[in-house]
Structure 1
Amino acid sequence: MPILSAPDGTELACHVLGQGRPLVVLPGGPMRASAYLGNLGGLDAHRQLWRLDLRGTGESAVPADPATYRCDRLVDDVEALRLHLSLERMDVLAHSAGGSLAMRYAARHPDRLGRLALITATPWALGMPATAEDRLAAARLRESEPWFTDAFPAFEAWLAGSGDFDPVFLPFFYGRWDDTARAHADREEDETNDDAGDLYGADGAYDPDVTRTGLARVAAPVLVLAGELDGGPRPALARRTADAFPAASLPLWTGVRGPSAVGRASPADRDHLASVPGMDTEMRTVQANGITLAYRAWGPQDAPPVLLLHARGADGADWSEIAPALAAGTRRVYAPDLRGHGRSDWPGDYGYEAMRDDIHALLGAFGIARADVVGHSLGGAVAYLLAQHSPHLVRRLVLEDVPAPFPLDPPRPPAERPDGDLPYDWAMILATDQQRNAPNPVWWDHMGRITMPTLLIGGGPTSPIPQEQIAGLADLLPDARRVTVDAGHLVHEARPEEFLAAVGEFLSPAARTPS
């Protein structure tokens, strides 16, 4: 079980299930240990789940300062987990009260979010609590249940403040009231830190105006999932939550409520969650250069090919919002996992030239004589090495915020491996750091061999890549153009519309030649 330290020294525990690209999971309660979520109804078959026990719950330590239980104070713990995983951006799934923590995180760190799923999350962070009327309206949908006659009056009295909490109305918090649900409810008292829960929403926890302003800058795809039987949130309130994000989808699951939407999902529910936009994990493999490369593909097989190469630490799923738009019936788009990443082989040799040769062999395995190639960061370096080595394979080249092959000054120090399983081979991090510190001088000397039209996209002053290096590359290449999108290093994630506009125009059908 991985243990990490929060900024204030509190030890935080994570429970890791499954394999694949990490999915950080924030539990509800508020302040209930993550154990109640289990494997999210089988979602660990598609993703590697990192279930975080919030401080003071489950296996995580009790903090010295109880005020740090407040929702906005927990944002630093979530960011500590991202840093622990060495991810430039991470996918997050949050349930119930954990949704407000996820929204506070997204508002504070919009560029660090890959994808976000809010599962039956009441939007306290937006100043929109579920009302008693919402909860009673959802409860009335259960009037055919055998327990309804006894449960509803007690529930109504509790919501009105004229009655105490009564376990008789616990069924309203579950989509199916069966033995599994009863056992789940019986564990709640032992799994919940009630004192911490009382402080979770203390004054200052949410700040709806600040949260809304921050969420307006979230370019990542967001799934807001509402259950038909859920009173917090009702589907209408979930829609208002989705409206706070620039790119949110809102499917409605009928007959589902609360924990049934995650920890007790049916097989059909699991398929739905695995196939929502941004969560598609269908993989294919191909033998290339003596190893197995995993890849994703979009678009008609006979359409002109485009190859998308991801950054270090990511995988082909990084392009899952860009690739469908590029395909759009006019292109065949491929997004492989580079060696040492995701579900491709982790062979131990991580030279840039080896990655280049993998892509050369992959194109051969697909029978592609010529393709447009788009590369981000490390993937951009692999792309320009391919264009130098085999210019006949590359029709047009797009380099997104790519580092020039100059020695780092000062050199990057040896990195310390984070605890726990990683979605990439740590040896790849060490090997690529060495090559960034001392790149092969031939890589720069051979830039003149890149004669095909090339588009360089810089991330502007907030990017860690020196933008003067990107300008220098553009000046050196015979047929280059350069655009700057002030989005930081993750241009295609933070500003997908601007990225697609620039790339789509550059890869215009009028300039194509047969592959």
Structure 2
Amino acid sequence: MPRARHDGIELYYEQVGSGDTVVFLPEAGLGAWSWGWQHDAVAGPFESLVVDPRGTGRSDAADDYGVETLAADLEAVLRDANVRSAHLVGHGLGGAVAVAYAREYNRARSLALVTTPAAGDVVDTDALGRLFSDEWPSVAFSESYVGVAPRDEIEGWRRLDDADADAREQLFAAYRAFDPGALYEITVPTLVLGALDSPVIPEPACETLAQGLPRGEYEQVEGRHLAHLEHSRAVNDRLLQFLEE
């Protein structure tokens, strides 16, 4: 299994498919399972690369979980995987890491940011914490979808992949501290998708992010914080259209 090394820790990742590389970066504390609905759609016309961030899944835990450190982890993964350029797809904190990476490194070809705010001070970490409690379905999904969501499967994946409480606390703190800096300096094409009813991120904060990016475009997505799972067909169609463009 491929593992990159950075800052004294090992970082697990998986590559599937061929073609231009699309990297998936999950929300704070969530495992790579949370991109399963998009991974399969992309791993055909593109190569899909899914990362377990430090403290999550099969990657090592650490002391430093800052956004800049997570971006440096991503650089180590792409270097190890011999990826010269990649499209970055991030959810929540994963989107913040993608933004930080595009500012600091030169491998990002485009960004697709799902329910990612313009700055971390708007993140409701109490609501994000409920995503790791028995209340998680109501945070993740709209009421109409909770009854049909594959909850048993998801809970099994979560037990294997999600970060533990200590790592989550530090990831949440890193998310709240996220400051993207001068957005006009990030000139890669960027698609921002904002969940209309996320209890974690106010939807206008996602639109603000898109408006601050020179090549940003914004679209709303029905649903709560895991809207990209609940409405995966629509999200996948839009993501593939964006990547192909």
Output the TM-score relative to the length of structure 2: 0.80
Letter in 1 for 2:194: G
2:114 and 2:123 mapped to 1: Cα distance?
Answer: 22
221, 224, 241: which one pairs with 1:505?
Answer: 241
Question: Which residue number corresponds to residue 310 of structure 1?
Answer: 26
**2:173 maps to what in 1?**
434
Asked whether the equivalents of residues 12 and 51 of structure 2 are also in contact (C-alpha less than 8 Å), the reply is: yes
- 1:299–1:324: 8 Å Cα contact kept in structure 2? no
Deviations 1:446-486 (A, max 9, x none): 32221000000111135531111111111110001111111
Map 1:44-193 → 2, pairs under 5 A: none
Aligned-pair distance for 1:288? 3.6
Give the conservation status (yes or no) of the 8 Å contact 2:100–2:180.
no
Per-residue CA distance 1:118-146 (angstroms, 9 max, x = gap): xxxxxxxxxxxxxxxxxxxxxxxxxxxxx
1:295 is aligned to 2:13: yes
Look at both structures and tell me which one has the larger radius of gyration over its CA atoms.
Answer: 1
Distance in 2 separating the partners of 1:357 and 1:304? 21
Q: Does 1:286 align with 2:25?
A: no
**Residues 388, 446 of structure 1: 8 Å contact kept:** no
Number of the residue aligned with 2:48? 333
Q: CA RMSD in A?
A: 2.5
Shift of 1:412: 5.5
* Residue in structure 1 matching 2:119, options 405, 415, 418: 405
2:202 is equivalent to residue 466 of structure 1: yes
Q: CA deviation at 1:289?
A: 4.2
Equivalences, count: 217
Match of 1:425 among 164, 171, 176: 164
Deviation readout 1:188-229 (Å, 9 max, x if unpaired):
xxxxxxxxxxxxxxxxxxxxxxxxxxxxxxxxxxxxxxxxxx
2:95 is equivalent to residue 388 of structure 1: no
Q: Deviations over 1:470-509 (max 9, x none)?
A: 111111100011111112111221011101111000000x
Distance 1:435 1:292, change over 3 A: closer
Asked if the contact 1:412/1:433 (under 8 Å) is kept, the reply is no
CA apart distance, 1:408: 4.2
Aligned partners of 1:319, 1:411: CA distance in 2, in Å?
21
How big is each residue's C-alpha offset from its partner over 1:289-335, in whole Å with a ceiling of 9 and x where there is no partner? 432111222102xx11110111122212222232121121x211100
Unaligned runs of 5+ in 1: 1-282
Equivalent residue of 2:224, what SS? coil
Which residue number corresponds to residue 88 of structure 2? 373
- Which residue of 1 is the match for residue 37 of structure 2? 321
User: Which amino acid in structure 2 is aligned with residue 377 of structure 1?
Assistant: G
Determine helix, strand or coil for the equivalent of 1:433. helix
Change (3 A) 1:406 1:304: closer
* CA 474–360 in structure 1, closer or farther in 2 if over 3 Å, else same: same
Task: Provide Cα deviations, 1:76-118, integer angstroms capped at 9, x if missing partner.
Answer: xxxxxxxxxxxxxxxxxxxxxxxxxxxxxxxxxxxxxxxxxxx
Separation in 2, partners of 1:385, 1:312 = 15
Is the 8 Å Cα contact of residues 194 and 206 (structure 2) preserved in structure 1? yes
Q: Which residue of the other structure, out of 457, 465, 473, is the alignment partner of 2:193? A: 457
1:432 and 1:379 mapped to 2: Cα distance?
Answer: 11
Cα deviation, residue 367, structure 1: 1.6
Q: Distance in 2 between matches of 1:402 and 1:349?
A: 21
